[in-house]
Structure 1
Amino acid sequence: MTKNKHKHPEEDLPQNPEETAAADTPEPETAVDPAAAAAEELQKWRDTALRTAAEYDNYRKRTVKDREEFARYANQGLLEELLPILDNFAMGMQMASDDTKSMIYIGMNMVQKQLADFLQNQGVELIPVEIGQPFDHNLQEAIQSEESDQPEGTILRIIRPGYTLKGRLLRPANVVVAQRAADPAPEA
């Protein structure tokens, strides 16, 4: 009724004497050539050294590139802050254009030229935008659209000029673009 929980040691013994002999005999080890093992270990270390040298070289190149990129655009914040000053200066010059012979106008014109030259020397360039050309979302920002007989997306007015810094967008040009005129409501 109840199972016998005790094991008999005779049950664990192999029945065949050949099994006993095979279990007691150690397996023959494969002969390891010490020179081949050393050569294999040396090759592993060479591979590791080459991989580490390549990783270091890539790190060094990436660091140099990052430094150059940082130096190239380090003035970006300062230049962005100068652009509204340039805009205000241009508006002032436009308002004072009635009296181009006055000394104040001539002096302001010289300062404006110096500021423009400074920005150009820093790599800042004006984005060329013309009224009538198609809108380019990469270089321009449409701040308003107006119904027009012009094709949709055509630049109608330039609100604020845009600039690039060494090929990278510094500030998009703000423009007004044409939108298709609404169809008149049909008469009932």
Structure 2
Amino acid sequence: MKEKPESNEPEAATEAQAAPAPEEAVAPEEASAEAGSETAKLLAELDKAQAQAKDYEDRYLRSMADLDNFRRRAAREKEESRLLANAVLIEELLPALDNFRLGLAAAGNHPEAAEVAKGFEVVAAQLRQVLNGHGLEVIEPAPGEDFDHNLHEAVSQSPSDEIADNKVLTLVRAGYQLNQRLLRPASVVVSSGPAEG
């Protein structure tokens, strides 16, 4: 067998393929400047995106706070409306309650009407119980209690040797409050202290 003579041509071709093609030479300073410029651009965009994200977060938090405040306010107004829904009706009933009280007090002075008065007292107790269930409270200061201008209305002053100055002497008319809201102050006579010599 004859051996083929070795040729250097394929090796030369392989070396030619392996050698990189000449590229445009870039100076290291220019490459560094371009990379720095690109980095600065990216950092500026990042800062802008972070500022925008912070702005969106602030808006979101404010919106959530506003919504929470609105929910609380709506719940409070709903509760107030529920508590005071019957205020007008109860205010119109107050004179009838006063007359009921006066009638029972007058009936107590007549022994012949004791049985009828007892029946009306039961009805009055039921009526008070129903109204108390709706939040109505009677304001009846006893003699000797401090005069409270928030709950009492002084109709007059009178001297008293037993009751100190600026204390309730006599209850003239009961007052009422509905769910801590004053409907009508109690009318009272206030002591002016012992009479002068």
Return the TM-score normalized by structure 1. 0.71
1:156 aligned to 156, 160, 169, which one?
A: 169
Find the residue that maps to 2:189 and give its secondary structure: strand
The aligned counterpart of 1:125 is 137
Contact 2:137 2:177 in 1 (8 A): yes
1:137 aligned to 114, 129, 149, which one?
A: 149
How does 1:58-77 map onto structure 2 within 5 Å?
58-77=69-88
Higher helix proportion: 2
Counterpart residue type for residue 77 of structure 1: V
For residues 179 and 101 of structure 1, the distance between their equivalents in structure 2, rounded to whole angstroms, comes to: 37
The aligned counterpart of 1:57 is 68
For residues 183 and 94 of structure 1, the distance between their equivalents in structure 2, rounded to whole angstroms, comes to: 34
Unaligned ranges ≥5, structure 2: 1-39
Query: Are positions 1:86 and 2:97 aligned together?
Result: yes
Contact 2:158 2:190 in 1 (8 A): yes
The aligned counterpart of 2:128 is 116
Figure out how many residues of one structure are paired with residues of the other and give that number: 153
Given the superposition, is the C-alpha separation of residues 73 and 42 from structure 1 closer, same or farther in structure 2, using an over 3 Å criterion? same
Find the residue that maps to 1:134 and give its secondary structure: coil
Q: Which of structure 1's runs of 4+ aligned residues deviate more than 3 A?
A: 104-107, 180-184
For residues 120 and 180 of structure 1, the distance between their equivalents in structure 2, rounded to whole angstroms, comes to: 35
Contact 2:138 2:176 in 1 (8 A): yes
For residues 103 and 140 of structure 2, the distance between their equivalents in structure 1, rounded to whole angstroms, comes to: 22
The aligned counterpart of 2:51 is 40
Find the residue that maps to 1:131 and give its secondary structure: coil
Find the residue that maps to 2:192 and give its secondary structure: strand
Find the residue that maps to 1:141 and give its secondary structure: strand
Given the superposition, is the C-alpha separation of residues 163 and 53 from structure 1 closer, same or farther in structure 2, using an over 3 Å criterion? same
Contact 2:107 2:114 in 1 (8 A): no
For residues 82 and 150 of structure 2, the distance between their equivalents in structure 1, rounded to whole angstroms, comes to: 24
The alpha carbon displacement at 1:164 in A equals: 2.3
Counterpart residue type for residue 114 of structure 1: Q
Cα offsets for 1:50-95 (capped at 9, x unmatched): 2112111111111111111121122122112212111101111122
The alpha carbon displacement at 1:101 in A equals: 4.1
Identity of aligned residues (%): 39
> Looking at CA atoms only, which structure, 1 or 2, has the larger radius of gyration?
2
For residues 70 and 113 of structure 1, the distance between their equivalents in structure 2, rounded to whole angstroms, comes to: 27
Cα offsets for 1:134-186 (capped at 9, x unmatched): 212222111111233342212221101122222332321110011246756xx
Given the superposition, is the C-alpha separation of residues 180 and 106 from structure 1 closer, same or farther in structure 2, using an over 3 Å criterion? closer
The aligned counterpart of 2:190 is 177
